[in-house]
Chains A and B, each alone.
Chain A
Amino acid sequence: MPIITLQELKKVFRLKQKAPGLRGSFRALLRPEYQTVEAVKGISLEMEQGELLAFIGPNGAGKSTTIKMLTGILYPSSGEASVLGYIPWQQRRELSYHIGSIFGQKPQLWYHLPPIDTFELFAHLYELEPSAFRQRRDFLVEAFSLEELLHVPVRKLSLGQRMRCEVAASLLHRPRILFLDEPTIGLDVVAKQKLREAIKLLHEQEKLTIFLTSHDVGDVEALCRRVIVINHGQVIFDDTTSALKRRFLHKKIISVRFGQPVPEDFSVKNATLLKRGEWGVKIELDTRVRPVDNLIQAIMNYAPVMDINVEDPPMEDVIREIYAVEETIHLKEPVR
């Protein structure tokens, strides 16, 4: 039975329009003009208990607006939604006991105080029994490796450390669903990895349902089994992560630094040489045409390799490709 159901959920914002320059400002002051923007254009979806869902799309696609309606922050313009049987914007308070949320750009920890103080505040906030709170806190401290951080003022923590504390704080009351809006934004590779591992552990141990938005393909690959892509407020793709990878994540960017100047006869077959420097090259590879290991082997035959980096293309590129396909085949319904 689905625990999240959305039916034709819409959100319309009225935006004030202004022509450029001072003249435009005066005109807008005297005769304001408004434009209606449909941030979310009738999204319908269902989500089961224990699912790990990535809800992705380019900037302005309507991801955060959807999450905000699902957590009761925003009222929709029309449509219906049910989260754990509650209508979020009408039963926000009842729902909040059962969900946790992290907005990567909006911290919830008290900035000048150590995380332990916010944890205790949350224990009061969610009316947790002292012994249950202590037990849960200790578990999360271990799961997120927070022993060293608990008593350090938040302002002195690194962004990665802070985010681990943020996620732990949002799990203190044992929510059934965790909404994560860009949880890894601004984190370095190691911090991202630590955070993903901790979230994954919590999912495995507690069957936590996760609704994730991210611009990082790594988050989606590491955490989620299902992906929904939205663009311009509409669902344009809804399938498994492996299907997404199979269909769209087939390009890799490979950066190579040689131990000597790039050989003059260096060339790559069935791949595109994006950049050629004195000591290194950048190559785009379509893995459907040629496997990564095969290309790397060929590169290593040219000269000793000092460093090699294989990256996914930016999420924006992936989305653009999905959107292009969606427009080409004129999908009326999202692919499932």
Chain B
Amino acid sequence: MQRLNKELRFIGHLIKLGLAGLMEYRASFLMQAVGMFINNGVYLVFWMLFFDRFKDVKGYQLEQIFLLFGFVALGFGIAYTFAGNAGRLAEFIAQGRLDYYLTLPRPVLPHVLFSRMGSFSVGDLTFGLMMYFFVGKFDLLSPILYLVCAVLAAVIFVSFSVITGCLAFYFGNASFVHMQLQNTMITFSLYPIGLFQGTIRLILFTLIPAAFVGAVPVEIVQTRSPELLLGMIGVAIFSVLLMTFVFQVGLRRYESGSALHVNL
């Protein structure tokens, strides 16, 4: 427990430092964050136009779409704002950039993940929070449930990114595949789950767990089902364990490299 406490304090210090790093370039940070915010907004406008003509899509109305968007944006925002290196793991492995972390006395994976804060994802984070003000309920439980589900979604986002990034241990330059898989996860998470049936639906609940970062949280908030919430907590814990296992196994194949690097 004492060890865990120390590691959490260290991660807290990394996040503080990451934030200080972001503040070094305030204009760039604000531009990226605002840009991402606008990007998300445009996507929503499309849905608003769509629901002007159609009543619902597989049980989803505009309110559910807003909620879905809110979860994906907030989950993604939390994940990539705080664990800013999650999306760059394949690149780190392929270029031998884990050397620095391997010579230091901290668990490598959290150290890598939290050593950078993502500036563009701050826009998603803000957007996700703002969505709640449009469609959320303002009783005592609902905002807490919304935040808990978003944090769980963030955990799943990071885990998926790490697991797919670990492909680089086996295939060398897997940066492109890593990026594509992350994009696939986001794309599928932004549509009502009822649109997908059969094998694709199975994939979205297993290999590419897009359902758990969008559709399932929407269901939890709307039905307030404790079973569903417990299920999602279980999936988040399992994904963290799987991510740790995959990374540790992959690390044995790490080959370092001689590229010139700059740590951010």
Q: A residues touching B (Cβ–Cβ < 8 Å)?
A: 13, 16, 64-65, 68, 71-75, 92-94, 96-97, 99, 101, 103, 105-113, 117, 120-121, 124-127, 153
Contacts and interface: CB of A to CB of B under 8 A. Distances in A.
Closest A-B pairs by Cβ, 8 of them: A96-B105, A112-B24, A73-B102, A112-B21, A101-B103, A124-B13, A106-B261, A105-B260
A184 to B, nearest CB: 15
B1 interface: no
Interface in B64-110: 96-100, 102-106
Main secondary structure of the interface of B (DSSP, over half): loop
Contacts of A107: 261-263
B25 interface: yes
B105 A93 contact: yes
Contact of B105 (A101, A106, A109, A125): A125
Given A105-B260, A106-B100, 13 more contacts: A65-B256, A73-B99, A73-B254, A73-B256, A93-B106, A94-B105, A105-B261, A106-B261, A109-B263, A111-B264, A112-B264, A124-B10, A125-B105
Contact of A121 (B13, B105, B254, B261): B13
A111 B263 contact: yes
Interface of B: 6, 9-10, 13-14, 17, 20-21, 24-25, 96-100, 102-106, 172, 252, 254-256, 258-264
Counting chain A CB atoms within 10 Å of each CB, the highest count among B14, B21, B98, B263 belongs to B263
14 contacts: A71-B102, A73-B103, A74-B255, A97-B105, A106-B96, A106-B97, A107-B263, A111-B263, A112-B21, A113-B21, A113-B24, A120-B13, A125-B10, A127-B6
Contacts of A74: 254-256
Nearest to B102: A73
Given A64-B258, A111-B263, A71 B21 contact: no
A68 B255 CA distance: 10
A163 B106 CA distance: 23
Contacts, number: 81
Contact of B20 (A101, A106, A113, A124): A113
Nearest to B115: A110
A68 B258 CA distance: 11
A125 B101 CA distance: 11
Contacts of A125: 10, 104-106
Contacts of B263: 106-111
A13 B254 CA distance: 11
Nearest to A94: B105
B17 A121 contact: yes
A209 B115 CA distance: 30
